[in-house]
Structures are given as structure tokens and as C-alpha cells.
Structure 1
Amino acid sequence: MPAEDDWSDSDEEVLSDAETSVQLGLPDGHLESSNDILDAAVSRIGGHPAFLTQEPPFESARCHNCSNSMELLVQLWCPLEDSPNDRALYIWGCARSGCQRKTGSIRAWRGLKLNEKYAAKLEKKQARQKQLEEARIKASAEEQARAAAAKTNPFAMKGPTNSNPSPFGLGAQVFGGTPTPSTITGAEAGPDMDDDEEDADDDEDSSEDEDDLVTAMASTTLEDSQWKTAPAYSPMYMSTVAEYLPPAPRARVSPEEALLEEAAEGKTKEGGWGMEGYENSMNLDQVFERFTRRVGYQGEQCIRYELSGTPLPFAGDSVFEQIFPVPSSPYVSVTKAAFNATAAKRTYDPSALPSCPICKGKRVFECQLMPNLISVLETSAENKGSKFQTDAERRQEIEQALKGSGPVEVQGMQWGTCLVFSCEKDCCLEGTARATSAWREEVVLVQWDE
């Protein structure tokens, strides 16, 4: 037999990239299909918004500083698996130079609409999960009862003496007899069958759901709407890919040192970086260097999406201080006497963010806009301006510019990243009652480019 190569922990060993829980949004060509433009389920960069329900107030897209209507930067289709609502996120931005570095020049809104078909499926799924859990609890109790019975003396006589004892009775007592059909309940066998039925139903209804959604979007056209007159960048498709990070070189350290290092950096067993720490004395350059190194693995990213995840700070500014506060304890506790205590690192803490004004729920990080988005929008604006315009379109553009509501140069946007935080409960309420739709503004923290 050929000898197998010995395992080596050499630094030159080739390791595979690690997939994180972050989804990256990349530009993917111009959006020209009329159906896609009207479809809220199509994520996009620029363009006009496609709403799930009736048009929200036009003031939703006005800058808090200049009061002019802003351009849509991105629209994200982001429904939650355990929610009965269709869900989309809309982010507008003002590129006027006088509005930069001011709160209210970037605004984000969350749109919800009850999906009755999915709500029925979700209710059925939850009932089936509850049934399955009850079956597991029952099966576990029966197993424990059999285990307890097996501990009794197998040679002891049980019950009245049988006049015709079975010659295999002793073995049945020692090794356990075959369970009778009555011990297998329908709850134990039912869920698998329900899963198959659900898969079949999903396959049959998927095309119908898509047709229904497109029809619903077509009925909410913006042709006769004030939203149609708002300034807009050329719309582009947005594709989504998972983020991959190359592995760090494997250093020759003891297992204890490796565990200590991973605990300090916040790495998880799955290779994630959700609790990555920052030094207490971080300055702008150090935070920015880490930002550029992480983004450099996929430079085309315009969006980073990780619901309930950890944002990637752009600079060591006041926003960084707010969501990565100085730890209360200055040192990390170490159990090994051979190691000295190390300084505790900053970790993400969103507790300082304002709660949802509707349901009082906590805010969680959802996504952030990346610097490349500015370049992509700038390019789309230049391409739009180079296209042939009719006299009517040219007059309309001049009128909008004179009124201060026309398209503006995207170079005016000076942010490094825009962090969007949404309601943890994804509430859809009107007062205390549940509503069939909702339009809610979410929190945006902007780290400006110095």
C-alpha cells in the first residue's frame, strides 16, 4: 500500500476560503424590463421605487435639510422567513453639497404587506413543527421509561404465572421485545408525510405566487404619480453573493494561545466574524485600514447585508464610539496562570440606539451602503446624460434644475458608509392592532468620508 503523506501544519498549506454570514450586493447591468421596474421583488440600484402597497407620502423621500426630494439609492427585497409579510427596504440620499455631513440627508424606510398565501403556509408549518416537537417529547419519555424498565431484574417473575409460558419469554425480557403497533403514534409518522405534501404544494404554487406579485406591482404603476417626477439615477439590477474571506496564515502556537487569540478577536467556529473586536485605542487610520482590508476581498460590493449581524465601521468617529463602546472591564479574564491578562477589545453593542417608536422593540443592524455605490451611481448618471433626449425631456430637466429638484451630481455624496438599523420585531402595527401593511422609517447612522 502506498504510504500516506503526513499531515503538516506548515504556513504554506493551502486552505479554503471561509464563508461569512454577510450577503454582498453587486451591480448587475441596467434594469430595462418594464415588468421588473414595477416589481417590488426586484432589488435595484437607483431608479424609481416599486411599492408593495399604495403609494406612501411623497415626503418620505425629502431631505430633512434642504426639503428637496432625494434620489433612490437602493431598494432591497428582503422578506423574513418566519414573517407572513412581504418586505422591502428603501434608502434615499441627498447629494447636494450643503446637505452633506448633516443628519437627515440619508433616509431609510421599511415597507410591509401581508402575504395571505404565505401566512397560511406559515401557520401550517408552525402547527406541524409543534406537532413534531410534541411527538419527540413523547418518544423521549417512552424511551426513558423503557430504559428504566430494563434496569429491573430480568429473572424476576412479572405478573401472574402463565400456564403456557413462551420459551422465548426470558430473552424478550433481557433484550427487549418488539414494540406493538400501538406504540408507534401517528404523530411520529405524520410530519414527514406533511413535509412531502408541503414541498409539492410549494412547487405548484411558486409560479402562481410570482404571477400574482407581478400583477399586483403592475396595478401600482407610478405613471400618474408624483413619485414619477422625482429625480432618479438610471436603474440597475443588483445581484447577491455570499462573502468569502481568505484564511489567515496558520501560526505555530499552542492550543491555549490559539483559543485565547480567537476569543479576543471574536471568531466563531463557523469562521464568522460577528464579534470581531477593536482595540480600545483605535484611531481613524486603524479602523479604516481594517475596513479597506475587509472590503478589498470584493471591491465591487455596493451593499453589505446581514440582518441582526455586525456592521463594518468605516472610521473611528462618534458613530464608532456609539456602537462599539469602550468595554466596562479593561481586561479579558484568563484561566491559565501561564498567560498574562490582555486588554479587552471593543465589541458591537447596539443598546445605545433608539428603540422602535411603534412597538418599542430593539433596533438591529440590517445593511450598510458601501463607497463603491457612489461610483456606480456616478457612472449611471453619466451614462444617462449621454443618451439622446427629446426636447420635452430636456425642457423638463431644465425646469427641475431651476426648481432645485432636478438630478444633481452624485459626486456631492461624501459618506464612507451608511449603516441601517431596523426594528427587531419587524412590527406591522397600527396602534395596538396588527395591520395588513406598514410604512416605517428606520434609523440610519452615517460615517462621513473625511
Structure 2
Amino acid sequence: MSSHDEYSSDEEDLFDESQKSDVFLGFVDAPITEEEVPTIEDTFIGGQPIWLHPQSQPNEKSLTCDNCNKKMALLLQAFAPMDGKLYDRVIYIFGCKDTRQCSKKKGSIKAIRGIVKDQETIDKIKKETEALQAKQLDEKLKADNQKKLNIELTKDLFGKKEESSNPFGGGSNPFDNKNDNPFAAGSTSPFGANPFGAKAEEEPKKKPESYAKIASKNEPKKAPKKKTVSDLPSYKGSFVYVDTEKFKKATNDPELEKYKHLIDMDVNKDDDSESVGASRRGSSSVLDPQTSKISNMLDDKYFEAFSNTVKHNPGQVLRYNLGGKPLLYNGKDDVAKKFLSQQPANIPQPAYNPSSERQYELQLMPKAIMDLEEINTNTVQISDILNGMSWGTIIVATDKEDYMPEQEFDENHVAYIEEWCGVQWEESV
């Protein structure tokens, strides 16, 4: 389901505009075909990776499973430019396809950050930035001028009755009011004010729309200069469309109304009652092992919050919120503990930049498994699920400074480096 289906204009009244979110969501939009191929400015799942230069690839170890030593397949390629940076930036997630042998093992899923700092890219971004700033300034000047014009046209509509009706007297003199003189200071004339003067500088900066301008406004796909050749195994490829997260009105969905307290709750707080937890543990301990594992998963407030948040946008395959918090699939594993134990999160510092720290950037959502493995919900077999990928979410955290060691750059001004990747796996049943 594409974002166009997810956020259909016919269903806009189903969403609660009062609930704001800093999260950007990705939805499967269209299949990758021989005619429609992605570029580095696209975000997509599956298929073959598009490198930042056809002759520049990550080192072989970064693309190889640490367990079986087989090449891994692309799960996600996310175009992730950063505001104010004069370079293109991409996040890749790769996973081992040998799920029987390598599932739930460290090193079977990896994340790579890549950047390109060639002069052509720098010049292109500079030009785009300058054009955007000029457009925003032009729109602001037009809006200001229109506002002043409206004030001039309406200011005398409700004037005092005792004012003189003499067309040449008092306030009715068209040349008596300085504000009506198109050549006076402060006039609405486009020549009366310097757009680069003090007033323009005093205006508060508009909060960026990003993740960098919603992934560069999901630009129409352009033919790559040269097709990247890759020998990696692959899943079905699909373009991903990015949009801001919206929440459905709880009153329109009895299930969401029922669990509204779980969506609004602060999941970082402990349960108010120890006796409740003891009661839950006692009731689950008498169950058989398989039922107990399922019960424990359902008895996890983080999993409940995850499920009920996803219900608002069930088609999401990607969540992006640089510097924010991930939506945890459970609150019990080592990945959860890293984000819950302290603030900022207890994520390993980047070895290549030890004075810095990492921050959450994005996560891949379980709906992506269905799209990557082409699982049809109408004909899904239990064997399809058991033999396929078994993660709940894949969380990627990147260096806050977005630093890249100079020695990593090659002759094409491209560099790749592995970033922290935390996988929350499905519980075995």
C-alpha cells in the first residue's frame, strides 16, 4: 500500500490533526522495474543497492554475514540528506538471506552510512539551497506586501463617524497619510525595503520541514548516469514514499478507543503496582512454555504501545526521526535496555569518532518483511513465516556529528562506514 492509499484525501477527516508527530513514515509506493530504476535520491526496500558512485562500494566485510560468510541482501536504502550539509548521504541496511542458520545471530544484519563529497554534488546542493532560499524570501515578501495592502484597504472601514467627509480634509487626504505614499519609508513598494536588511535577519527561522525536506520531496525518479553492477542476493524491490506520521481519530475505531490509554501512556515509567506484575507473572508461570512466551510478549507494555501506534498507519515499512526515540518492539531485550537504561541512550560510541556519540535515526518495520518476501496475506502459510525473516524491528543509530574519517574517502570522494544496528527479534514459539 502506498502512502497515497494510506493518506487518501477522501479519508483526511479520519485523522486527528491535534496529534502532532516528529516522525516521518515510509510506505511501499511502486515496484522497481527495468524501466523504473532507483537513484541515490530514492528510498526503497529490496532490489540491488545504488552506490554513491558506480565504482565505489563498501568493503566486502561490511556486505558479508559474520556467521555464514555469505553475501547479504539489501533490506533498505534510505536517502537521508541532512539540512545544511553540502553532501549527499545514504543509509543502507543489509541482512543475511540464510534465515535458518543465521537468524537472531549477531552480524547477520548490518547498517552502513555512506556520503559523497564530490564537487559536482556540492555545487548541485548549493544551487538547490540558494534557489529554495530565494523562493522562500520571495514568498515571504509577497505575503508581507499583501498583508500591508489588506490593512490599508480595510483600516478606514470602521473609522469614527465624526470624521470629516471633506475629501480634501483630515484623514481622507490620500497624500496626508505617510503610509499611503508608495515612495515613503515603510511603504508596500517592493523598492521600499531591503530584503537583505535588518528586518529580514530579525525574522525567526522557519522550522525545517525535513527529514531533509521530506527526502527532497520524493523527487520524480531520474535515470542513473550509469547502472550499478552488483552480485548481491536480493529480495523484491519497491520504491518507498515518505510522509509525516498522522494519527487516526480514536472515536472512528473502537479498537483504538479501547487502547487509547496505551498510546498516550508514558512507557518509560514503571508500573504503578508491583502486585499487578506479580499477578501477571504468577498466572503465566503455569502455562506451557510456548503459550508462556506468547503471553509474555503480549504482557509487554512496549509491545502493546508498538502495536497500537502501528495500527494508525499499518502500511509503514520505515520510521525516521533523527535524534528522537525509536518505537521499541519489546521492552525486555538488550536493545531495549540500551534505550531505556539512561538518557541519552546507552549506545556504543563510534570507534572512528570516540569523542562523539550515536543517536537514533531510523528503523525498519515488520511490514517490510511481507513486501520483501512477497507474502500474500490471503494465502500466507505458517511455513512462509517460520522459514522467513523473524525480526520485529531493526533500529539504526548514527554518529551525531555525521563524521567520516578522511582515510575512508576514495578517489571518487565517496566513503562508507558501518553504524550501530540493533535488531529486536521475534520471540520463538
Q: Shorter-normalised TM-score: what interval?
A: 0.5 to 0.7
State how far apart, in whole Å, the 2-side matches of 1:364 and 1:112 are.
17
The aligned counterpart of 1:42 is: 42
The aligned counterpart of 1:31 is: 32
What does residue range 316-355 of structure 1 map to in structure 2 within 5 Å? 316-317=331-332, 318-325=334-341, 349-355=343-349
What does residue range 378-389 of structure 1 map to in structure 2 within 5 Å? 378-379=373-374
What does residue range 40-439 of structure 1 map to in structure 2 within 5 Å? 40-53=40-53, 54-96=56-98, 97-114=100-117, 115-118=121-124, 120-121=126-127, 188=197, 217-219=224-226, 221-222=228-229, 227=230, 229-246=231-248, 276-281=266-271, 284=297, 285=299, 286-317=301-332, 318-325=334-341, 349-360=343-354, 361-379=356-374, 411-430=387-406, 436-439=413-416
Q: In structure 2, the residue corresponding to 1:419 is in which secondary structure?
A: strand
> Contact (CA 8 Å) 1:35, 1:218: kept in 2 or not?
no
Shift of 1:301: 0.9
Shift of 1:309: 1.1
- Is the alpha carbon distance of 1:293 and 1:409 closer, same or farther for their aligned partners in structure 2, counting shifts above 3 Å? closer
> Contact (CA 8 Å) 1:17, 1:245: kept in 2 or not?
no
- State the AA in 1 paired with 2:123: K
TM-score with structure 2 length normalisation?
0.59
State how far apart, in whole Å, the 2-side matches of 1:27 and 1:352 are.
32
Shift of 1:234: 1.9
- State the AA in 2 paired with 1:308: G
Gaps of 5+ in 2: 1-14, 135-183, 187-192, 202-218, 252-261, 272-276, 278-295, 378-383
Shift of 1:40: 1.4
- Is the alpha carbon distance of 1:305 and 1:50 closer, same or farther for their aligned partners in structure 2, counting shifts above 3 Å? same
Shift of 1:186: 9.0
> Contact (CA 8 Å) 1:365, 1:420: kept in 2 or not?
yes
Shift of 1:117: 1.0
Shift of 1:102: 1.2
> Contact (CA 8 Å) 2:267, 2:302: kept in 1 or not?
no
> Contact (CA 8 Å) 1:64, 1:103: kept in 2 or not?
yes
State how far apart, in whole Å, the 2-side matches of 1:124 and 1:429 are.
28
State how far apart, in whole Å, the 1-side matches of 2:239 and 2:249 are.
31
Q: In structure 2, the residue corresponding to 1:221 is in which secondary structure?
A: coil
- State the AA in 2 paired with 1:19: K
Q: In structure 2, the residue corresponding to 1:117 is in which secondary structure?
A: helix
State how far apart, in whole Å, the 2-side matches of 1:179 and 1:237 are.
53
- State the AA in 2 paired with 1:417: T
The aligned counterpart of 2:423 is: 446
Shift of 1:437: 2.7
- Is the alpha carbon distance of 1:35 and 1:236 closer, same or farther for their aligned partners in structure 2, counting shifts above 3 Å? closer
State how far apart, in whole Å, the 2-side matches of 1:118 and 1:437 are.
16
Instruction: Give the RMSD, CA atoms, in angstroms.
Output: 4.0
Shift of 1:72: 0.6
Shift of 1:87: 0.9
Percent identical across equivalent pairs? 28
Q: In structure 2, the residue corresponding to 1:280 is in which secondary structure?
A: coil
Shift of 1:230: 1.9
State how far apart, in whole Å, the 2-side matches of 1:352 and 1:55 are.
30
- State the AA in 2 paired with 1:298: N
State how far apart, in whole Å, the 1-side matches of 2:406 and 2:51 are.
19
Shift of 1:33: 4.4
